[in-house]
Amino acid sequence: MMIEIQPVGKPVQATVKVPGSKSYTNRALLVAALAEGKSHLSGVLFSDDTERMLDSLQKLGHQIEIDRDNCTVQMTGNGGKIPVETADLNIGNAGTAARPLVSYAALGHGTYRFDGAEPMRKSRPMADLLAALRQLGVTVKSKMGNDRFPLVVIANGLIGGSVRLNASKSSQFLTSLLMVAPATEQGMKIKLEGPLISQPYIDITLSVMRTFGASVTDHDYRLFTVPGGQTYQPRHYTIEPDASNASYFFALAAITGGCIRVDNLNRNSAQGDVKFVEILEQMGCRVNYLDNGIKVSGNGTLNGVEVDMNAISDTSMTLAAIAPFATSPTTIRNIEHCRWQESDRITAMVTELQRLGVEIEEFQDGLRIQPTTEMQPAEIETYDDHRMAMSFTLVGLKRAGIKIKNPACVNKTFPRYFQVLSQLVAG
């Protein structure tokens, strides 16, 4: 399937309600499952990734009441115990479910099988997490012998202890260990080897853990100490909007010279991607931080920028898509880890921008994009990557002849993206 995006010929003025954060939703679901008793979660995102988490937790024996119309979930936690001895879990391409659930399964007593989509089998890294779990005495086997999916966790309880972890390819490895650590007998001391990428996602993890009553000490993001024998407490918990998905609407204001407000998003959010608006400010937009939202106003002209996007790499694709409309080159650096996500995002961005006729230079850790006043029509490959589809849709709102292949891939985090966008531009 393919859709053609129709350009919008006027500044877009709108207020948007963006669905809940995928990162917060999947963390809250798992921590609520680890708690003792019933938690009520509101603002829940229902998308492919979060449905994978919900389905897996149900298969692991949790009682879950789901109200998709009102975006709520009531989760009955089992206090860190897994009541079933076997489960077959299909994670799809949901990294935020895959990595934490493998550690969670280690708390059980039994055999738990994991499989997923082709990227989880072929390209998305797991080896460093599995190495850490093996240090902690967990038996985990890779069917293909390559430390990727399919995996089998043969669990006999997770006692905890000291562990060294390389989180240079995914911060989700650290999140995975942190969230289960309170439920272990000994707790964990997690010492990082190598750099930690995407630090704000660890802030999200720590925020959710502490809100549900866990104690964790972070020593300059190099050593994390989590006492054992803790029990997460059930909570009423509200999930805030997804800052990564908000970036597309802020970028739309930038390229059309419009004004877009996203409700219920706060500049003090632990989501690092909220800082994408600071890049837009460098490019010449005006940003207003309101009591209950953030507003971005474009002025019709964008300046190129040179930015380190390691901490907010999910929005690097948003920036790459609008960079050709700037008046000077844009350079994005320090995002090498994007090569091991839903797609090799650096090469994907370069390939599709070149398809549009944009002059671009690729680095191992980023890219430099030259401005252009003309683009050629093109069919954009999305590589089954939701962020490719959502980002390059912005190009189509500015230039005619842009078609997006496999638009359904946005179901991963924002199933109604195209409907919401079309309502905005029609308003």
Q: What is the 3-state secondary structure (H, E, C) of 332-349?
A: EECCHHHHHCCCCHHHHH
Question: Which residues are designated catalytic?
Answer: 314
Q: Return the exposure string of 223-235: e unless at least 16 CB atoms fall within 10 Å of the residue's CB, then b.
A: ebbbbbebbbebb
Q: Which of 280, 277, 213, 273 is nearest to 240 (CA)?
A: 273
For residues 80 and 212, give the distance between their C-alpha atoms in angstroms, rounded to a whole number: 13
Q: Which of 280, 270, 347, 337 is nearest to 310 (CA)?
A: 337
Measured CA to CA in angstroms, residue 40 lies from 76, 233, 344, 427 at distances of 9, 12, 37, 35
Q: Which residues contact 4 (CB under 8 A, 6 or more apart)?
A: 396, 401, 402, 403, 404
Q: Which of 386, 393, 387, 339 is nearest to 362 (CA)?
A: 339
- Starting at the earlier edge strand, list the strands of the sheet with 2-5: 2-5, 402-405, 378-380
How does strand 259-263 pair with strand 286-290? unpaired
Q: Which of 209, 116, 115, 222 is nearest to 168 (CA)?
A: 222
Does residue 97 contact residue 22 with C-beta atoms inside 8 Å?
Answer: no
Q: Which of 420, 425, 305 is nearest to 369 (CA)?
A: 305
Tell the burial category of 37 from Cβ atoms under 10 Å away from its Cβ (0-12, 13-18, 19+). Answer: middle
Measured CA to CA in angstroms, residue 259 lies from 262, 289, 382 at distances of 10, 13, 28
- Starting at the earlier edge strand, list the strands of the sheet with 86-90: 86-90, 109-115, 151-156, 139-142
User: Bridge-partner residues for 238, per DSSP?
Assistant: 42
Q: Which two tokens stand for residue 124?
A: 């998305």
For residues 213 and 205, give the distance between their C-alpha atoms in angstroms, rounded to a whole number: 13
